Structure formats: C-alpha cells, structure tokens
Amino acid sequence: MARAVWDSVNDGTHLAVQAGTGTGKSLAYLVPAMQLAADRRGPVVVSTATIALQRQLVDRDLPTLAAALREPLGRTPEFAILKGRNNYLCLNKLRNGPEDEQDSLFDALGGQAQTSQLGAHIKRLHQWAAATSTGDRDEMVPGVPDQAWRQVSVTARECLGPGRCPFGVQCFSERARRMAAEADVIVTNHALLAIDTLGEGGILPEHRVVIVDEAHELVDRVTSVATGELSGYAIDFAVRRTGKLADDGEIARLSEAGNALTPLLATMPAGRMDQLDLGLGATLAALRDAAMACAAQVRKIAGTKDESADPAEVTAAQTALVSLEEIGVVADRMISAFDQPIAEREEVVWLERPEDWSESTRPASLHVAPLEVGEVLAEHLFADKTVVLTSATLTLGGSFTPLARQWGLDADAMGHEWTGIDVGSPFAHGRSGILYVAKHLPPPSRDGLPPEYMDELWELIKAAGGRTLGLFSSMRGARAAAAAMRECLPFPVLCQGDDSTMQLVKEFAADEPTCLFGTLSLWQGVDVPGPSLRLVVIDRIPFPRPDDPLASARTRAADARGGSGFMEVSANHAALLLAQGAGRLLRSMDDRGVVAVLDSRLVTKRYGEYLRASLPPFWQTTDPKVVRGALERLAAS
C-alpha cells in the first residue's frame, strides 16, 4: 500500500485503496507523506471522518513516525491538526459578542435570580478561556453543550478576519492555521475539506496531495455540508440578531414572512416535495427578498473600515449578516430547485418534522440538498489535486466502481485517471469467522421484529454465552429486542440510549457476557477486540427507508437516466453498511466469531449475491445447528 501511495503521488494518478482492519493503513500513507515533506513537495492534507481517528494520528502515529524517520529523512517532519473555525474559542465573541436572545443566563426562582445551567457552562468557559493555550474545544474536559459553545465561537463566515478583529493577533484559530501552514502533514476532517472544496478555498494551506481516510463517508459528509435548512426558528433568530442594524420596515417584512412560514409548514406533510406549493413559493420569495434587503443594509456596518467603529456593533452586524445571507441563498435554492422537470433536477427539497413536533421547541424545517456531489468533487478536488482514498470498505459487490462514480471519478464522464487496489487483510476470514444467514426465517416486515426473529436471537446469544453486538435497522427494533432478551437471558443487555454510546461500549468491552444492542452509530463506531465480542447479529438488510428524501430522489434520477435506481442507491447503501457492520467482528489476529444475518433475503434474492460479495470472505452457512455448535465451542474455550 505504501508503494502504491508513493507511485500515485509521483505520477499524479488518483488512488483508491481498500485496506482491511489491521493492515496498518495509516502508516502506509503517512510514510510516503513524510517522504514528500522531506523532498519539499508538501504539505500533505490527511482528512478523516472521526475525531477519534484524528486524535490517533496526531497523538500516536505521527509522533512515532516523525521520531523514527528523523535520521533517514534528514530532519524531523512537522505535523499539525486543523479544524473548522467554530471548534476554537473566539476571544472577540467572548468579549464583544451579543448574548443569544433565546438563551437566558438567569432563571428567576423564588424572586431571586440564580445562574442557570447554561450560565454555569458559560462561566466555566470564561474560566477555561483564561487558562487555555489552544482554545480547542476538544481539550475542555468535561465539555459543554453546543448551546453554550455557540456563545463563545464563530463560524468562518461570522469571523471578522484577523485584520479587523481586535483580537486578531491572539486568535486561537489563526494560530492553528499558522501552525498548519508550516507543517508537512496537516490532519483535518471531511467537513472542513468539504467547506474548503465547495467554497473558494483558502481555509487549508496550499497543497497538491490529499489523503482521504474513511473515504466511504466522504459523499455523505460533503452532502451534509452542502445542505441548506430553513425554519421559523432560524428566521426569528435572524430578526433578533438584526435588531436595529437595518430599517424597521425591512425587518418587519422579514418577520412577517417568517411568521407566515411556521403555520404553513405545520399544515404540510413531511417528506420529499415534488411540486412547489403556490403559498410556500410566495413565502419563500418574500423571505429571500426581505433577507437580501436587510443584508444589504447590515453589510455596510459589517464591512466598515472605520477604526473608531464599536467592535461589539461590528461583531453583531457580521453575525446578523451571515444569518440573513443564509436565509436568502437557501430560499432561492429551494425556489430554483423546481425550475427543471423532475427527472432533470439537481437538488431535492423536503420537509422534516420531529416526531414530537407538537411539543417541540424546534418545529418543522425545510431542507435542500444536491442530488449528487460527484461533479463538484471532480471539478474542485480531483481536478487540481492528487487524491488517495482509503478505507476498509471501498468495494461494493466486489468493485470500486460504485463509490468511484459517487466521488466523480468516472473516467468516461470526468476524464480523471484513477486506480483501485485491494491490499487485503491480515485476518484469515475463512478460518476466523462465519457468515450465517437465517434462511429459514420469514422475510422481515414493517411491523417490527417477528416472534421467530426473537427466538432465533435468543438461541444465538445463548450459544455464544452473551458476547453479542446487535445491530438493528431502527431504534424501535433495538429496544424491542433488548426488552425481550432481558426477560429470558441471564446476561446483561445494554441498549443504545441507556447512556452515552462511548460509555456503553466501554461497559460492553469490560464484561465478557454483556450484550449491546443499537443502531447506526454502532454499525461503524465499535472497536472491541478480544472475547467480549464473539457474535454480531444484523436484524435486516439496511436498505434506506422508502420515504428517505435523498435516497428516493436519487433512485428516481438513476431510473430516469436508464440505470437501476435500486441497485445504484438502495443496494449500494445496504452493501456499505453491511460491510461496516460485519467489520465489527474481527478486530485483532486472535478474534474468532460469527456474523449472523436474520434477513433471509441475503440468500434468497438475486441482489443477495451482490451484497454478500461486499462482505469480508467469511466461511458461509445457512444451517442453524452448525452455527450454534460453533458458538458453543467458542464459548467453552
């Protein structure tokens, strides 16, 4: 893998590398990255999906490699971590920022004002601000809720810039950027990479090589960054933020449009919108025009170069301007999304409503997102960078093509040269693991887990002596299974939501017989080597929900261009998650166990072969007696 990465960055060909758990893929791409640095051809940007992987690279892998390679490279390579600006304490916001009007720092109790819980968090932030040398949110332990952190942080667009900010010299974010600019290897995350790619750049230092770890998550992270949201809450927030910074008449227009939006959304069904309701269209147009009119006035204050201007007023104007421009741009995107025929639309609009929306403080909201991000990545990432993409799961149905197409690396359409290699795994999957499909069970239904599934689950867990990670397609299914198993098993059964996910995983790993049930975050986030995990149970093939707005719109678009929407969207989505879930089983060379899929469609349907080809090459069986015997032998040993 290291040799392939080195060849790729030298000849400028993009590279996709599937590297199984235990391969040491971070070392395989960091060594070539440091060689590039030694040749003064850096810096190299390494983008990861999770904070945990960032910390592993910065706290363990990079320091070890930098020390080991000092002599052969002739110098010690430098490295730095760079996060989005809102991850750092903003000294100007701390001193001059307006308190969010919706957040009261004091609660009147018994006639005496007492500091609220939010106020206590902010007090801790002020104390921490006086002591921290980095301003990095992750270094504050214990942390604070997002609501409190927003009081002392700004986004990149809210920032006044180091030249205009009274605290520009001491700015923690600018200090991190200066360190990154001098580093040979810059560790960042997919979200910041997406912001740098989708925007005008300039967030990351100039670079020509990008290494994307956990690359199977890249499309989702880029899509998330490109998604716009609009709600009555956001408009009310912008109105309060604007305050006296614009004419009363323009602010009143914006407020009236916002007041019209909330009851209108309350009458509309949740889900994807294929047609623009006339009333909603008129309201969105009114919002767009009023927000842009207010923004034009506020921009004069935010952009002032008058050194005598009040820093607090300029800060408030910049914050208000970002909110106003966001409303205007998103409302316009939503209107424009319906300009094309359905089959040719490039964006999808949908309405979300929390399940308890009638009692929620955050009612219905509108969203708009691009159907595909491959073209954007092809133009702004792959066109002028050499990109290495790696993960334990990159081949779907045995091929790199499905993910390469999503990334925009389709050679016929975009003209980018790329190579895909699978460097294998140190694990002997056929001897260490069994893939068991419960072929005798009925197909899953929409009405929850059938009784036969509960019986099968009980038999498997009993044979394994606990030690089970249950991966479910819904929280309802996970809770129902946990409740049923607690009644009939002598082993502790934890369920996601009982405590923080991190704490539950720790308890699961610490006590061998314990079982842990949960949903999506457990499919990709659990690393428990050793005897605490001998059985991974997957209740059903994780197809996207039929009413998922993005998935359903992408399926329709694929069908319209003559492809198979089911295979391109639903099957690929399921294959990726199945591979990630099955990957929880073997985490060290000594691990042994079973991946049990209760959904018989994995062997009875034609697409089942495609899905199984996406999984590690375990020995396969559909015989329940064989798999229970294997689990009992493992438990006995």
Same domain, 382 and 438: no
CB atoms within 10 A of CB 383: 12
- Looking at the structure, tell me whether residues 605 and 575 fall in a common domain: yes
The CATH number given to whatever domain includes residue 576 is: 3.40.50.300
Helix (H) / strand (E) element for 518: namely strand 515-518
What is the tens place of the pLDDT at every residue in 587-613? 999 999 999 999 999 999 999 999 999
Same domain, 505 and 621: yes
- pLDDT given at position 397: 92
Pair 453, 415 in one domain: no
Q: How many CB atoms lie within 10 A of CB 212?
A: 25
Predicted confidence band of residue 447 (pLDDT cuts 50, 70, 90): confident
Same domain? For 67 and 216 the reply is: yes
Q: How far apart are CA 187 and CA 204, in angstroms?
A: 10
Q: Would you say residue 259 lies in a domain?
A: yes
Report how many domains make up the chain.
Answer: 3
Local structure of 207: helix, strand or coil: coil
How far apart CA 561 and CA 573 sit, in angstroms, is: 19
Backbone angles phi, psi at 602, to 5 degrees: -65, -20
Going by C-alpha positions, the residue among 21, 16, 19, 17 that lies closest to residue 582 is 21
Question: Do 617 and 478 sit in the same domain of this protein?
Answer: yes
501 has a pLDDT exceeding 80: yes
| Residue 308 pLDDT | 72
The mean pLDDT of 118-144, rounded to a whole number, is 86
The more confidently predicted of residues 416 and 494 is 494
| Residue 141 within any structural domain of the chain | no
Residue 390: what pLDDT?
Answer: 97
Last residue of a domain, which of 333, 353, 370?
A: 370
Give per-residue pLDDT as tens, 235-288: 998 998 898 888 888 899 999 999 999 999 988 999 999 999 999 999 999 999
Q: Do 407 and 47 form a contact (C-beta atoms < 8 A)?
A: no
Average pLDDT value for residue range 476-503: 92
pLDDT, tens digit (0-9, with 9 covering 90-100), for 306-365: 777 777 888 888 889 989 999 999 999 999 999 999 888 999 999 998 764 444 445 789
Write out pLDDT tens, residues 30-44. 999 999 887 877 799
Q: How far apart are CA 228 and CA 288, in angstroms?
A: 14
- 447: CB partners within 8 A, 6+ apart: none
109 lies in a domain? Answer: no
Q: What angle do CA 14, 17, 18 make, to 5 degrees?
A: 155
Kindly state whether residues 306 and 385 are assigned to the same domain.
Answer: no
The answer on 294 and 254 residing in a single domain is yes
Residue 87 to residue 135: CA distance in whole angstroms? 8
- The answer to whether position 138 is within a domain reads no
In this structure, is residue 245 part of a structural domain?
Answer: yes
What are the Cα distances from residue 201, in Å, to 47, 195, 198?
15, 8, 8
Question: Kind and range of the H or E element at 370?
Answer: strand 365-370
Let me know if residue 325 belongs to a domain: yes
CA distance 283 to 286: 5
Q: What is the mean pLDDT of residues 611-617?
A: 95
Quick one: average pLDDT of 4-16?
95
Mean pLDDT lowest among 65-69, 112-116, 262-266, 597-601 = 112-116
* Rg of the chain in Å (alpha carbons): 26
Exposure pattern of 147-174 as b/e (b: 16+ CB <10 Å)?
ebbbbbbbebebbbeeebbebeeebbbb
Q: How far does the chain reach from its first CA to its final CA, in angstroms? A: 36
| 353/393 same-domain check | no
Judge if 197 and 269 occupy the same domain: no
- Residues 6 or more apart from 472 whose CB is under 8 A from it? 478, 481, 517, 518, 519, 539
Query: Where is mean pLDDT largest: 95-109, 116-130, 295-309, 583-597?
Result: 583-597
Which stretches of 311-450 are DSSP H helices?
311-336, 374-377, 401-407, 411-414, 429-432
pLDDT in tens, 410-438: 745 556 789 999 999 999 999 999 999 99
Six-digit token string for 75: 């110098």
What is the SS3 assignment for 577-610? HHHHHHCCCCCCCCCCEEEEECCCHHHHCCHHHH
> Does residue 389 sit in the same domain as residue 299?
no
**For residue 367, what pLDDT is reported?**
97
Tokens of 522: 């457990």
The answer on 440 and 581 residing in a single domain is yes
Q: In this structure, are residues 586 and 593 in contact, taking their beta carbons and an 8 Å threshold?
A: yes
Model pLDDT, residue 362: 55
Q: Locate tokens 């072969």: which residue?
A: 609
List, for residues 149-193, the tens digit of each pLDDT value.
888 888 888 888 887 888 888 899 999 988 888 899 999 999 899
Question: Is position 124 within any domain?
Answer: no
Q: Is residue 165 part of a domain?
A: no
Band of residue 141 on the pLDDT scale cut at 50, 70, 90: confident
Give the domain range for residue 334: 228-370
